[in-house]
Structure 1
Amino acid sequence: MELKGEKIILVPYTIERCHEFYKEYVADPAMTYETYTYDFEEVNRYFQDRVLNSNRLFFAICYNDKTVGEIQIKQIDMGKLCGTLGVHLVNDSFKEKGYGTEAQRLLIDYAIKTLGLKTIYADAIHRNHRSKHVLEKLGFEHLYNDDALAYYKFSVK
């Protein structure tokens, strides 16, 4: 299953695409002050524990068949018809081009129309102003802040 946008396409997140992503991943200082170093076994564990988790739906964000990001709906609760959105782009060279925004729009549409979710949550680290701006642009409502994060909610009307 693929979700096609104007600039990017969301494709199933395979172990190969996961390694492709993390080999080039550069941690964003807006999200963490830690640096990232690729580790083959760590990526395998991440894929096994997170990507294959049945409460998550992962896609690779691809631009010209290159994996430039990962996007997911996690904490999927079909009883409450809700889940939480998460997205990462590989490095700064793929930011501020609309790829992340388009990927989120595609996945939100899929989650509502295909999965039947009624509520999608998201959060952003306070200093990640770009992420907060995108969430608000996509129609998320700011709920509250705690010491680390700003929390958002998108509801089907």
Structure 2
Amino acid sequence: MIDASALSEKPVLIGDRIRLTPLAPRHAAAFHATFLDAETRRLTGTHHDWTLAELQAWCTGAAERAERLDLAIEDRETGAFLGDLALSQIDRDNALGSFRIALAAEATGRGLGSEATRLLLDYAFERVGLHRVQLEVFAFNARARRAYEKCGFEVEGRMREALHWDGEWHDVLVMAALAPRP
């Protein structure tokens, strides 16, 4: 049974090296800087040039969005912004939701994305009551795919040539993790 109030709670989730906190206006500038990085844009398939004002508005409204959970990934010791993640597109009838994550360039390759993903999956399964969490990842993003697999996601399908980037078509893999069985 889905607990809808769990999405509007906007929790703080503490890991060994990171903290997931509700996305807020204080994150907007660092969030904007993340999407100025060409490699981050490629790995996330971000075609839209987000302005700082647009991201400030998005961050400001995050606390009011009861149908989704947007969290900033912060360094637990310094509070530095390391990226963001979201649990959205909640289907209450089928107990499923969609997941996405984007890390700042300096946060990659250190296992921080896996730690953040595990924290959010635990919340999604244990507190929200989801049965399934799914995501899409570009076939060329082998590092992300490995990280997702470490967290329990499995490839379930392929959307052929679903991303057009730099004049080329790329496949998108559909992956999902299921709640642990009792």
Which of the five TM-score ranges fits, normalised by the shorter chain?
0.7 to 0.9
Aligned-partner residue type, residue 155 of structure 1: L
The answer as to whether partners of 2:31 and 2:55 remain within 8 angstroms in 1 is: no
The two structures, once aligned, show a CA RMSD in angstroms of: 2.2
Distance 1:150 1:130, change over 3 A: same
2:52 corresponds to 1:40: yes
Rounded Cα–Cα distance in structure 1 between residues aligned with 2:63 and 2:100:
12
The separation in 1 between residues aligned to 2:125 and 2:85, in whole angstroms, is 16
Q: Is the aligned partner of 1:85 residue 2:99?
A: yes
TM-score, length basis structure 2: 0.76
1:84–1:122 CA contact under 8 A, matched in 2 = yes
The percentage of aligned residue pairs carrying the same residue is: 25
Contact 2:72 2:82 in 1 (8 A): yes
Provide TM-score, normalisation by structure 1. 0.87
Cα separation, 1, equivalents of 2:133 and 2:109: 23
Structure 1: unaligned runs, 5 residues or longer: none
CA–CA distance in structure 2, aligned partners of residues 109 and 19 of structure 1: 29
Distance 2:118 2:45 in 1: 24
C-alpha separation in 2, matches of 1:32 and 1:12: 24
Write the deviation string for residues 86-129 of structure 1: whole angstroms up to 9, x where unpaired: 000122x2101111110000000011111111110111011111
| Cα separation, 1, equivalents of 2:25 and 2:141 | 28
- 96, 115, 124: which one aligns with 1:102: 115
State the partner residue of 1:111.
Answer: 124
Asked if the contact 1:11/1:60 (under 8 Å) is kept, the reply is yes
Q: Kindly tell me the number of residue pairs found equivalent between the two proteins.
A: 155
Q: CA deviation at 1:20?
A: 2.6
Distance in structure 2 (CA, Å) of the matches to 1:37 and 1:75: 23
Residue 48 of structure 1: how far off its partner (Å): 6.1
**2:101 alignment partner AA:** V
- Larger-Rg structure: 2
2:67 to 55, 59, 67: 55
Closer, same or farther: CA 87–24 of 1 in aligned 2, 3 Å: closer
After superposing the two structures, state which structure 1 stretch, 100-109 or 19-28, moved more.
19-28
- Looking at structure 1, the residues matched to 14 and 61 of structure 2 have their Cα atoms a distance apart, in angstroms, of 27
Which SS does the other structure have where 1:75 is aligned?
Answer: strand
User: 1:78 and 1:38, CA in 2 relative to 1: closer, same or farther beyond 3 A?
Assistant: closer
Report the alpha carbon displacement of residue 85 of structure 1 after superposing the two structures with TM.
Answer: 0.9
CA distance in 2 between counterparts of 1:150 and 1:24 reads 23
